[in-house]
Structure 1
Amino acid sequence: MTTTRRDFITTAAITGAALVAGDALAKPVAGDNAMPKLLHHVFFWLKNPESKEDLEKLIAGVKSLAAIETVRSIHVGVPASTEKREVVDNSYHVSELLGFDDVAGQDAYQIHPLHKKFVDEHQHLWSKVVVYDALAV
């Protein structure tokens, strides 16, 4: 069986593509899809939980925090209607999960004018706030 130059180039290209694809699947994805190093998870309980207006104001305020330069990712949510289990606390009304590159980024966020403005303009809406900060290991 003779192999033509065209057959050789085609086989080499397919093999190269397969190796690159396999290599990409074997390594963690870098860049925009990488998990931030520090996660800042905040849970809010509304003073007036029946107020749709208060809920909407708080959600809008939390979403405005995405404009802070050190915020790498943001997820704003409300309790999911998942299975009720003893270990699940869904008593909160709004949560925010912010991602940062490092502790310095989170520190800068805490003193940023937009964060301070958010607290000043929205703290009257909540009765309780709980924060969990986690650094990747």
Structure 2
Amino acid sequence: MDAGRREMMAMVAIGGAGIAGALSGGEAQAAAATVPAKVVHHVFFWLNDPASIKDRDRLIAGLRTLAAIPVIRALHIGVPADTEARDVVDGSWQVSELMFFDNVADQKAYQDHPIHKAFVAECEKLWRKVVVYDTLRV
């Protein structure tokens, strides 16, 4: 394979990985199923001003910066889906992030990473509550 073709194939592979991290809905679920990560980090944010689209979009923009942290295998950012109202569905939050890591050490490295610390410093004034669910694949 010549150098140009190898370079193009590498760009396609890198682009595909980036697309997998940016998918939503069923596509994100399918992409997540292919991520061999063992640790899932799911965070829910309640904004100080739940009706503010500007604040929601600022938080989403901040969350997108986290994708540059190398230990994150996949990242999904979401808002509550307009699904059937049921007693078991909590749609009271405004934004969530779902991340996949290979192991607990990588999740800790993410917590300590300067990009994550900058995100918190910049965006923490937007939220009134945060709930985190960390799970280990069994």
Fold shared by both chains (TM-score > 0.5):
yes
Q: What is the alpha-carbon distance in structure 2 between the residues aligned to residue 112 and residue 34 of structure 1? A: 22
Q: What is the alpha-carbon distance in structure 2 between the residues aligned to residue 56 and residue 89 of structure 1? A: 21
User: What residue number does 2:136 align with?
Assistant: 135
CA RMSD after TM alignment: 1.1
Secondary structure (helix, strand or coil) at the match of 2:129 reads strand
Q: 1:33 offset after TM fit, Å?
A: 2.1
User: What residue number does 2:117 align with?
Assistant: 116
User: What residue number does 1:64 align with?
Assistant: 65
User: What residue number does 1:84 align with?
Assistant: 85
Cα deviations by residue, 1:83-135 (Å, 9 ceiling, x for unpaired)? 11101101000000000000000000000000000000000000000000000
Q: What is the alpha-carbon distance in structure 2 between the residues aligned to residue 34 and residue 76 of structure 1? A: 16
Secondary structure (helix, strand or coil) at the match of 2:61 reads helix
User: What residue number does 2:37 align with?
Assistant: 36
Q: What is the alpha-carbon distance in structure 2 between the residues aligned to residue 113 and residue 34 of structure 1? A: 24
Cα deviations by residue, 1:35-89 (Å, 9 ceiling, x for unpaired)? 4210000000000111111010000101110100100000000000111110110
Q: What is the alpha-carbon distance in structure 1 between the residues aligned to residue 52 and residue 91 of structure 2? A: 18
User: What residue number does 2:96 align with?
Assistant: 95
After TM superposition, the score normalised by the length of structure 2 is 0.75
User: What residue number does 2:127 align with?
Assistant: 126
After TM superposition, the score normalised by the length of structure 1 is 0.75
Structure 1, unpaired ranges of 5+: 1-31
User: What residue number does 2:23 align with?
Assistant: none
Aligned pairs for 1:18-57 (under 5 A) are 33-57=34-58
Runs of 4+ aligned structure 1 residues displaced above 3 Å come to none
* Amino acid paired to 2:78: G
Structure 2, unpaired ranges of 5+: 1-32
Q: How many percent identity over aligned positions?
A: 58
